[in-house]
Structure 1
Amino acid sequence: MARAFDTGEHLAVQAGTGTGKSLAYLVPAVVRAVETERPVVVSTATIALQRQLVDRDLPRLADSLADELPRRPRFALLKGRGNYLCLNKIHNGSEHGSDPPEADLPQEELFDPVPATALGREVQRLTAWTSDTESGDRDELVPGVTDRAWAQVSVSARECIGMARCPYGTDCFAERARERAGRADIIVTNHALLAIDAVSDAAVLPDHELLVVDEAHELVDRVTGVATGELSATSMAVAQRRAARLVDAELSDQLDTAVAALTALIGDGAPGRIDVLDDDLATALAALRDAARRVRSAIDLSPSDPKAAAARAEAVTALSDVGETAARMLDSFGPPIADRTDVVWLERETIRGAERAVLRVAPLTVAGLLRSRLFERSTTVLTSATLTVGGSFDAMAGAWGLTSGPENPADSDNPKKPQIRWRGIDVGSPFNHAKSGILYVAAHLPPPGRDGTGSPEQLDEIAGLITAAGGRTLGLFSSMRAARTAAETMRERLDTPVLCQGDDSTTTLVKRFAEDPETSLFGTLSLWQGVDVPGPSLSLVLIDRIPFPRPDDPLLTARQRRVAARGGNGFMAVAASHAALLLAQGAGRLLRSADDRGVVAVLDSRMATARYAGYLRASLPPFWSTTDPVQVRQALQRLHTR
């Protein structure tokens, strides 16, 4: 890493659990930052790792290096503005009150001394917390509050009226955090804020030339999420409501009409990817775009009163989001399908028991964005336990924009553009995978069906494996339906407890699983990547099927089609790479300490028979492998009784 900082060559490092990744990048980062008086930014995907770095690793490192450095290194945690209390919103509120669906009450009732609702009581608690907290950071509030309550006391960066105009500017929690970050040698942040810094023209992070991206396998998805726009009845109603009192009735009516037309259209629409823009949708999007722009232009942003200024800033932000998203959706249909850079789809999702329709637009690739706004500006070290796919860094490097090709044609229009210099290193693992773990592929099972639940043969296999293991099983399933079906069946057939994601909070379930070796835990995506249970409570990881993306996933299928149209293998570049990365993450749950032993069981016979099976297995640790069910059950029984 120190060499990368010296040469400007980007570095991708795969380092397994237990290799000390954080210390490996923090030591050279701290030394470099202190010696040059130039900060290093460290970005992570999860709050847990951010807290580990700031609360544990960096303080210990600062103590250890005290005699080697000219001064003690400074470090700070920086999050997006919406993670901090907004004093102006708490004390002044806004002219339009609360926005649906975050609140059902006017602003004055939310902040009433004797609130009658649960939401009002949460807001009152947040108001009282303002006097006690030093940071205003939502993550430091225990117990936490709902998103509905937090929305009443926070603003986004675009809704902020600015430190100079805000009467609480000098006491602003977000500005204080930013000021601390500006003085720090190591700035710890998250991928979302890093993406916002890259996407927006405004500088969100302090100037930096050196960047470390931990949990780098998450980077593309997090940047894609930030770059995704959406239109829903809720988001349009917020813009409508915020603008209603700020413009004349004629303009307000135009916006109301446009919102009503698009709301009705997407409410009646069929979910799925939209490849052809029909006349009705084109007309509705154009009307919304034009109305939002006209209303936005009519709002006066110059009032000196902080309450009025805040209301106008919030309205302009909501209108800009709606208008720009509608315009982006319209523009995305301009080029031929093979040349498009965005995909649009309609989705139906359930939130708090209510279904809503959402029209979304997302980039087909963020490679060009990452290249131009990240790698061409900062020397970057990317690290994770899982960066190689099929035994190579090529897939990740293409997704990041470090290389070009059918999957990432970033340089196809400009072959003279200098190639980005980078290299990949796999530092291995402290574990002896061949002696500590077994990869068992249940080749005798029928291929999984399309209904999303396990076959009777697969359920028999799960019961037999868990019985042999004496519980101690983490079941990773491709869908919640499959996880629940398996859990219900196992509860009837097994004498050991079975927990299922959704029974309680994930944190509570993992704690119960870790504390009782006979307990099994079934779940889906968050368990594939978020479980760290060393010791005897986990000796069997079950994977029900190869985790290919859903065949109706609008974004990944559009990416797959785009690769194929440019001469690449869309299935291998997108679907197989996606599955390989998740398989590696899931298999990584097994060995978390040097003494751990166990089995990763893949209950999908395609892992042994399909033409892509070798590619997927090359993405996994080098476990000893077998397809013999008797042999693997005997091994689990020995582990259980040792």
Structure 2
Amino acid sequence: MFDDRSEESQPRFNPPNAPVMVVGLRHAVFLSPDGEIEELPHGAAAKRARATRPILVHTPACARRLKIDPFAAHDLLELFAFVRPAQFCVPTPRGIALATGQKPADDLIGQAEALAEAMKRLLQELATLHRNKRGPALSIAWPMARGHWPWGVSVLAALGADGDGPHRYAVYEGLKVWKKLGEWAEHAPPPPPANYPVDPKDARKRLKELLGEGAEERPQQADYASSVCSAFGPRLHDGAPNIVLAEAGTGTGKTLGYVAPASLWAQKNDGAVWISTYTRNLQRQIDQELDRLYDDPKDKRLKAVVRKGRENYFCLLNFEEAQRPLAQQPHQATPLGLIARWASTTRDGDMVGGDFPAWLTELLGNRFTGALADQRGECIYAACPHYSKCFIEKTVRRARSAEIVVANHALVMVQAALGGLDDSSMPTRYVFDEGHHLFDAADKAFSSHLTGQEGQELRRWLLGAEQKGSSRARGLKQRLETLIHDRDELRDAVNAVIVAAQCLPEQGWLGRIHDGSQHAKGPAEVFLAHVRAQVMARSADGDRGYSIETDCKPTVTEVLASAADLDRALEAMEKPAKSLIKIIAHMLDEKADELDSAERQRLDAAIRSLERRAIMQVAAWREMLASLVEETPKNFVDWFAIERQFGRDFDVGMHRHYLDPTLPLTLALAPTAHGMVVTSATLRDGTGDEEFDWAVAEDRTGAAHMPLPAVRAAMKSPYNYREQTRVFIVNDLGRDNPDHIAAAYRELFLASGGGALGLFTAISRLRAIYDRLTGPMDDAGLQLLAQHIDGMDVSTLIDIFRVERDACLLGTDAVRDGVDVPGDSLRLIVFDRVPWPRPDILHRARKSAFHGARYDDMLTRLRMKQAFGRLVRRAEDRGVFVLLDNRMPSRLLGAFPDDVEVQRVGLREAIEQTKEFLGNKSQP
């Protein structure tokens, strides 16, 4: 099937007979196989691209720039994903050049030459693969080539393919990666950790070891490591964890500052410290920092684990089922082959923020990427033929014996609420990084939504796919199939739940309720139709295409009547679900000597899933319905809403949030947590009243509700913001005139020569400004990226922004919180207006409960503080922050460091000073 060449022998180099294409902002460059260069305007380039299947980077992005539909091409990202699976690469010509060891070029001709060289280097890598790796690669390349993968011929040649390849009945054998994966092993549960404290002196010493010889002295970092040690002391009272609130200014080095005492505690006490973040970007950064603690990758794999929700991980059963149509649709071998290459190499199967290239989703489509994860809670656990090789189960078991577990707030919240995710074990020590987001994370975790989307999702989880061939969704009966076939009582209970679930919204519910309750099917849809009618009747904003909401009370008669009908239907579903749980629990008890471990695990998992999905959720819905007649409990805020995307209804229903979501958070964590560090660069408010600012931190993190007072610690940033930054508030601009705002963005971006981040408080304004900026930015030769417009996820956009030094990026909240771009790739931030909180019903209630107008100010200062903190990430960074809103009140200036002079100037002066401060010789 392939030759047995040594690594030193010459490869068979058979590149495609196609030109290399690089699409610029105004024109495209083509490099022919003979080395001829041709420069074409976009219109002519589009025609050439369709006719020649060029070699390029990121076909969808090139097509968007050429303003045409995606076309057939030799995408180097696909070749890179095959040759270097589970490796990082920025999806641009410069990114490919860097990834293949070249010096990136700024001009299009240099980039085209770099792409040609990158192709050659990648194919040479394949040709020199060790024989142990060449066989598996070839077994995946064969079906991809048979499916007409553009790179198929070149890849087979580089791998030394000889003859016609495998027999047609075995051609897809290489895609069955589950056959080659190792199995996890079950171990006895670990004993509880000991309670030896961490001495601050030892923490400082460990920190010094982590930094290494010759590292820059940072007194703030050492002080920080000492200050958080009290969270790693023994707990003195039941239900009263030791808490440290630690604010560490940007540049303190808080990650290694808390890793030092956390790792010491884990090693001294044979336990795990859970480090929790809000964003996936920080989760990835912390994982990278742990290389300092564990310099041996094998040691790190045993002692450091990244944990996320099950919906983030690759599902082998979904992958097997996705391969079934291959005989009839051989072209699907291309996306499945690239996924197989990744799956055979990945560290832990994490498809969201792990080693899975995010740009593959746009190249291959969600059907062959994200949809292969267990996004809908359909796992059948031990009944799965791949259970013993499952990535999720491997990660769960590794986490039980790890020293450091890097998780996220969402997972920790769910784990705390349920008393454990995969078993009843709970961590005792936590570090909550990005602690200023604890309030928002708890708000999402402990809220309830009686909506059409949620109801349809529960129906699908219970009934499975109701239309043949519409999806691979497995229902409750399928998940328990092998357990119920000879157990009548269990089968009858499952059938009763399924029959009762018919009350939930059916596929197509949104269109039916839009036409009125007379078209609705079942009590849930009738209720939603009446809710929609009440929202439409009472909305203050009218029907302008945006999401709208209204108070539940006073409730119209039709809503009350349909709510009563729905409550009875949900009760009829809740009863058999509870009976089913009792039957399963009884079976576990009565037949303990008959059940094998796989059956026991499946039954345990079935109980946990039913309790979470069919009991807790339905109970919350019934409480919400009851409150329409009775008083709403004082700790909750209820409302009705129509949610819209792109001007169209997306969801309809009733929502319930805690007034203070840190209450359920502390109730869930306090009983089992022994110590917690809550840390961020922006924990406190910036009013200047120190006691009030700390009180805000305690309110927002839940520390105010804990039995013991929190230890407070604050470290100033080591950066000289007075010298390194400028802050301008533009006072002569009409903020409601999009033409004026777009002109301001344009001139400021030109003044900085790119490297600019434009932040918006509304997606609609971002889109309006983007449309006005594309032409001028193209003319200036500055690449313009935009969240919600470019078809890439935020992390990929930020990766591109980081590498493309003079690019400009427009974004909203996710970019403001998630961007970490050291160096001069980010040297200007422009905020369109003061980021006041959205004045919705939930905010109205919280504003009334938390200090009135001061609550608005606190949230706004926090957002601006976070945005400003993106600007300087290293000691040598310089940057300018501009706010295009003359309504910025002076009381909000506490968002900026004390040593920064905030200047209120006209737009012309802001442009001139930006150009002068950044030393930019930009184009006129």
CA distance in structure 2 between the partners assigned to 1:231 and 1:572 by the alignment: 32
Equivalent residue for 1:625?
902
Q: Does the C-alpha gap of structure 1 residues 332 and 584 become closer, same or farther in structure 2, counting only changes over 3 Å?
A: farther
Equivalent residue for 2:349?
136
Residues 551-577 of structure 1 show CA distances to partners (whole Å, capped at 9, x for unaligned) of: 2x332223223x1xxxx532222x222
How far 1:550 moved relative to its partner?
A: 1.9
**More deviation, 181-190/526-535:** 526-535
Unaligned runs of 5+ in 1: 92-107, 404-409, 411-417
Equivalent residue for 2:223?
none
Equivalent residue for 1:6?
233
Equivalent residue for 2:43?
none
Equivalent residue for 1:556?
843
1:399 equivalent among 684, 700, 714: 700
Residue 621 of structure 2 corresponds to residue 326 of structure 1: yes
How far 1:292 moved relative to its partner?
A: 3.2
How far 1:625 moved relative to its partner?
A: 1.9
**More deviation, 499-508/594-603:** 499-508
**More deviation, 178-187/11-20:** 11-20
How far 1:542 moved relative to its partner?
A: 0.9
Residues 20-78 of structure 1 show CA distances to partners (whole Å, capped at 9, x for unaligned) of: 11100001110111012122111111222222323x222322349xxxx9x99822222
Equivalent residue for 1:572?
854
Equivalent residue for 2:292?
60
**Matched position secondary structure for 2:748:** helix
Residues 754, 808 of structure 2: 8 Å contact kept: yes
Q: Does the C-alpha gap of structure 1 residues 537 and 342 become closer, same or farther in structure 2, counting only changes over 3 Å?
A: same
Equivalent residue for 2:123?
none
Larger RCO of the pair (alpha carbons < 8 Å, separation 6+) = 1
Residue 392 of structure 2 corresponds to residue 174 of structure 1: yes
Residue 831 of structure 2 corresponds to residue 543 of structure 1: yes
How far 1:547 moved relative to its partner?
A: 0.5
AA paired with 2:419?
D
Q: Does the C-alpha gap of structure 1 residues 153 and 332 become closer, same or farther in structure 2, counting only changes over 3 Å?
A: farther
**Matched position secondary structure for 1:439:** strand
CA distance in structure 1 between the partners assigned to 2:301 and 2:347 by the alignment: 23
Q: Does the C-alpha gap of structure 1 residues 87 and 274 become closer, same or farther in structure 2, counting only changes over 3 Å?
A: same
Q: Does the C-alpha gap of structure 1 residues 57 and 437 become closer, same or farther in structure 2, counting only changes over 3 Å?
A: same
CA distance in structure 1 between the partners assigned to 2:563 and 2:659 by the alignment: 21
Residues 523, 565 of structure 2: 8 Å contact kept: yes
Residue 647 of structure 2 corresponds to residue 371 of structure 1: no
Q: Does the C-alpha gap of structure 1 residues 356 and 130 become closer, same or farther in structure 2, counting only changes over 3 Å?
A: same
AA paired with 1:20?
G
Q: Does the C-alpha gap of structure 1 residues 151 and 296 become closer, same or farther in structure 2, counting only changes over 3 Å?
A: farther
**Matched position secondary structure for 1:426:** strand
**Matched position secondary structure for 1:390:** coil
AA paired with 2:683?
L
How far 1:459 moved relative to its partner?
A: 4.4
Equivalent residue for 2:495?
247
2:913 equivalent among 623, 635, 638: 635
CA distance in structure 2 between the partners assigned to 1:124 and 1:259 by the alignment: 42
CA distance in structure 2 between the partners assigned to 1:167 and 1:398 by the alignment: 48
Alignment of 1:198-277 (within 5 A): 198-203=416-421, 206-240=425-459, 243=462, 247=495, 251=500, 257-268=522-533, 269-270=535-536, 271-276=548-553, 277=555
1:430 equivalent among 702, 718, 721: 718
How far 1:537 moved relative to its partner?
A: 3.3
**Matched position secondary structure for 2:275:** strand
**Matched position secondary structure for 2:703:** coil
Residues 233, 357 of structure 1: 8 Å contact kept: yes
Equivalent residue for 1:591?
872
Residues 109, 120 of structure 1: 8 Å contact kept: no
Equivalent residue for 2:249?
16
CA distance in structure 1 between the partners assigned to 2:332 and 2:635 by the alignment: 44
**More deviation, 236-245/263-272:** 236-245
CA distance in structure 1 between the partners assigned to 2:328 and 2:653 by the alignment: 33
Q: Does the C-alpha gap of structure 1 residues 332 and 590 become closer, same or farther in structure 2, counting only changes over 3 Å?
A: farther
How far 1:548 moved relative to its partner?
A: 0.9
CA distance in structure 1 between the partners assigned to 2:448 and 2:338 by the alignment: 33
**Matched position secondary structure for 2:757:** strand
Equivalent residue for 2:684?
388
CA distance in structure 1 between the partners assigned to 2:501 and 2:826 by the alignment: 59
Q: Does the C-alpha gap of structure 1 residues 291 and 21 become closer, same or farther in structure 2, counting only changes over 3 Å?
A: same
CA distance in structure 1 between the partners assigned to 2:799 and 2:680 by the alignment: 24
Residues 312-368 of structure 1 show CA distances to partners (whole Å, capped at 9, x for unaligned) of: 997886544662342132255577569242333313133898733344322221121
Residues 429-479 of structure 1 show CA distances to partners (whole Å, capped at 9, x for unaligned) of: 121001111111123445x44xxxx45554454444334333332111111
**Matched position secondary structure for 2:919:** helix
Equivalent residue for 2:757?
474
AA paired with 1:386?
T
Give the TM-score, by structure 1 length.
0.79
Alignment of 1:29-48 (within 5 A): 29-48=262-281
Residue 880 of structure 2 corresponds to residue 602 of structure 1: no
How far 1:600 moved relative to its partner?
A: 0.9
Residues 478, 547 of structure 1: 8 Å contact kept: yes
Residues 124-156 of structure 1 show CA distances to partners (whole Å, capped at 9, x for unaligned) of: 986897676663333444434766667865557
Residues 760, 810 of structure 2: 8 Å contact kept: yes
Q: Does the C-alpha gap of structure 1 residues 541 and 247 become closer, same or farther in structure 2, counting only changes over 3 Å?
A: same
AA paired with 1:471?
G
After superposition, the CA RMSD in angstroms is 4.0
CA distance in structure 2 between the partners assigned to 1:151 and 1:518 by the alignment: 31
How far 1:598 moved relative to its partner?
A: 2.4
CA distance in structure 2 between the partners assigned to 1:554 and 1:486 by the alignment: 29
How far 1:399 moved relative to its partner?
A: 2.1
How far 1:536 moved relative to its partner?
A: 3.0
Identical amino acids, percent of aligned pairs = 25
Q: Which has the larger radius of gyration?
A: 2
Residues 364, 559 of structure 1: 8 Å contact kept: yes
Unaligned runs of 5+ in 2: 1-227, 236-241, 464-476, 478-493, 505-520, 537-547, 588-594, 688-692
**More deviation, 469-478/627-636:** 627-636
Q: Does the C-alpha gap of structure 1 residues 322 and 425 become closer, same or farther in structure 2, counting only changes over 3 Å?
A: closer
CA distance in structure 1 between the partners assigned to 2:369 and 2:615 by the alignment: 22
Equivalent residue for 1:284?
562
Q: Does the C-alpha gap of structure 1 residues 208 and 237 become closer, same or farther in structure 2, counting only changes over 3 Å?
A: closer
Residues 464-502 of structure 1 show CA distances to partners (whole Å, capped at 9, x for unaligned) of: 433433333211111122223223334455653344332
Equivalent residue for 1:341?
636
Residues 1-34 of structure 1 show CA distances to partners (whole Å, capped at 9, x for unaligned) of: 1133237641122223322111000011101110
Residues 345, 554 of structure 1: 8 Å contact kept: no
Give the TM-score, by structure 2 length.
0.57
**More deviation, 583-592/6-15:** 6-15
CA distance in structure 2 between the partners assigned to 1:289 and 1:123 by the alignment: 45
